[in-house]
Amino acid sequence: MITVGVVGATGYTGVELLRILVQHPEVTIQMVTSRSEAGTAVSAIFPNLREHLQLNFCNPDPDLLAECDLVFFATPHGAAMALVPELLAKGVKVIDLSADFRIKDAKLWSHWYGIEHTCPELLTEAVYGLPEMNRELIKTASLIANPGCYPTAVQLGFIPLLKNKLVDPGSLIADVKSGVSGAGRKAGMGTLLCEVSENFKAYAINGHRHQPEIVQGLNAQSDKPVNLTFMPHLVPMIRGIQASLYASLSTDGVDLQSLYEDFYRDEIFVDVLEAGTSPETRSVRGSNMCRLAIVQPEDSNKVVVLVVEDNLVKGAAGQAVQNMNIMYGFNESLGLDIVSVLP
């Protein structure tokens, strides 16, 4: 049994983390922080937790947080890096669901996030928490940089091809689509129901912050640097990411279906579908599963990988708990054995 704190839990990533943690048999939630809602009952903001969590939000006091074994940050970027050094110094482990420790190059990070990094010395120590790639490092990590939602889907889809040198690394295209919860829970006009429902569009067409994170991850698995065209789209639904990934095959005659099945055979949260089927986002809604399928169009040297995940689970809170399970030696699926609600 470990005690955990959740910093910045008024967002969608935060409430999703709480949903999973309240049902986790090895976890006691000790504190849930929010500056704006300090003093309010968590269940007043999130009525789904009424019967499950009897805590009020409190201010993120580092001394109190230091009483936890593990602290999750579900904050906007910039908040975690202000507290993490002190917590680590006090022996607390940290899983950061924000972007603060995902990119190893502090300058590149600043370019995309528009502020200086205040603890670049931790960037090498931080372990990028994609268990399918970094499980061994995660086991002993003190600081986990939990991957972004798009990066999780795109990396899990492309890596088997890159690692096996089957595609031209300069030919990668990721046409990705996300439900609106990816934009977070904050007042704004852009994600009002009346603005985004019955509507579909590409967004961030001049550059998206997840692109350098993905490229960094793909380069780590490729012998040559990749060139990635990355185009995100907004889907009029709450949850779910679907990625259609395109690449030019550099070799012929490889049975890609078998290759993917073998590659992910031991991964409990990656499900390779039968040939000819297409994964749908609702099949993973609320679950930590990532499902994918491989398509080879006729008379073409292209391969298409279709990937789905729940952006708030495998793309955020679920993966964070998966990382926690690995760090503490729990069964990797503990608390994550969730059946998606369908329909």
Binders of its own copies in range 180-199 (CB under 8 A) = 180-181, 185-189, 191-199
Kindly indicate which of the ranges 75-83, 115-123, 135-143, 282-290 contains the residues binding its own copies, using the contact rule CB under 8 A: 282-290
**Is 37 among the residues that bind its own copies (CB under 8 A)?**
no
Q: Rounded CA gap, 231 and 126, in Å?
A: 28
What are the phi and psi torsion angles at 119 (to 5°)? -145, 60
- The residue from 28, 35, 38, 48 that contacts its own copies (CB under 8 A) is 48
**Is 298 among the residues that bind its own copies (CB under 8 A)?**
yes
Provide the angle, in degrees to the nearest 10, between the axes of the packed helices 12-21 and 318-327.
Answer: 50
Are 322 and 269 spatial neighbours (Cβ–Cβ below 8 Å)? yes
- Annotated catalytic residue: which of 68, 119, 149, 290? 149
Beta-carbon contacts of residue 318 (< 8 Å; ≥ 6 apart): 16, 20, 269, 287, 288, 310, 312, 336
- The residue from 2, 3, 22, 106 that contacts its own copies (CB under 8 A) is 22
**Is 252 among the residues that bind its own copies (CB under 8 A)?**
no
Residues 307-336 that bind its own copies (CB under 8 A): 308
**Is 227 among the residues that bind its own copies (CB under 8 A)?**
yes
Give me the amino acid identity at 110.
S
**Is 52 among the residues that bind its own copies (CB under 8 A)?**
yes
Kindly indicate which of the ranges 50-58, 61-69, 72-80, 148-156 contains the residues binding its own copies, using the contact rule CB under 8 A: 50-58
Kindly indicate which of the ranges 1-9, 70-78, 283-291, 316-324 contains the residues binding its own copies, using the contact rule CB under 8 A: 283-291
* DSSP label at residue 237: S
Beta-carbon contacts of residue 39 (< 8 Å; ≥ 6 apart): 56, 57, 58
- The residue from 1, 39, 63, 201 that contacts its own copies (CB under 8 A) is 201
- Residue closer to its own copies by CB (options 139, 282) is 282
**Is 28 among the residues that bind its own copies (CB under 8 A)?**
no
**Is 265 among the residues that bind its own copies (CB under 8 A)?**
no
Q: How far is the CB of 273 from its own copies (least distance, A)?
A: 9
Kindly indicate which of the ranges 48-56, 72-80, 98-106, 146-154 contains the residues binding its own copies, using the contact rule CB under 8 A: 48-56
Residue 194: active-site member: no
Beta-carbon contacts of residue 114 (< 8 Å; ≥ 6 apart): none
Kindly indicate which of the ranges 63-71, 91-99, 120-128, 226-234 contains the residues binding its own copies, using the contact rule CB under 8 A: 226-234
Provide the angle, in degrees to the nearest 10, between the axes of the packed helices 256-263 and 149-163.
Answer: 120
Residues 142-171 that bind its own copies (CB under 8 A): none
**Is 119 among the residues that bind its own copies (CB under 8 A)?**
no
Partners of 333 in the beta sheet?
none
Partners of 95 in the beta sheet?
72, 144
Tokens of 2: 């470990």
In a 13 Å sphere around the CA of 300, the CA atoms on its Cβ side amount to 10
Q: Which pairs with CB-CB distance under 8 Å and at least 24 residues apart come from 250-255?
A: 250/165, 250/166, 250/167, 250/168, 251/165, 251/166, 254/164, 254/166
The count of residues interacting with its own copies (CB under 8 A) is 84
Catalytic residues: 149
